[in-house]
Amino acid sequence: MHLVSFRINGDERSLAVEPRRTLLDALRADLALTGTKKVCDMGDCGACTVLLDGRAVYACLTLAVDCEGREITTIEGLAHGNELDPVQRAFVEADAYQCGFCTPGQIMSITALLAEQSAPTEDEIRRAVSGNLCRCGAYQNIVKAGQRAAELVAATRTNGSNANGSRASAAAGAGDAPGGRR
């Protein structure tokens, strides 16, 4: 067992994990943060997308022990209490899901995009979620949700209020969403 410490959704946490434990299993089994989903466990589907130092990564391809001292944001870290952040609101408004299993990963990919590019083109939105599979086929509305989220974020910034999702924005560094699938 190795001790690893990181900051997750704003909280400092330390875990004793086997070196082979993925970040995904650490989130789901050790921290009971089950919003991040396990679908393929081999980097094909994007359902486990989280932000690592502001950058979208697949948690199933990241070892927990590699997260020492790093900053992780999961789907549970976006809303403020019961108040949804703009990307989450946009997904509800656009019906950008059916079963909802891929949704956390889709939202994290869009969140990473908006942190880097506040006014993305439709093509940029598509590219940002091209590594996120949705078997229910909600892609059309996921793209709409991405556009709506950009509008909501822009509106929040214009108003100068304490922007929802600012945590992700602040954490955003250089980088890109996981690449397109093919």
Q: State how far the Cα of 32 lies from the Cα of 44, in Å rounded to an integer.
A: 23
- Least distance (Å) between residue 160 CB and another protein: 25
- 29 vs 154 by CB, closer to another protein: 29
**Cα–Cα distance list, 76 to 80, 126, 179 (Å):** 9, 24, 24
- Least distance (Å) between residue 159 CB and another protein: 22
Torsion over CA of 26, 138, 165 and 8, rounded to 10 degrees? 0
- 66 vs 173 by CB, closer to another protein: 66
Torsion over CA of 81, 82, 86 and 92, rounded to 10 degrees? 150
Tokens of 117: 């590019």
The binding site for another protein (CB under 8 A) comprises: 18, 20-21, 25, 28-29, 32-42, 44-45, 47, 74-76, 78-79, 82, 84, 88-89, 91-93, 95, 97-104, 107, 126, 129-130, 132-143, 180-182
- 36 vs 62 by CB, closer to another protein: 36
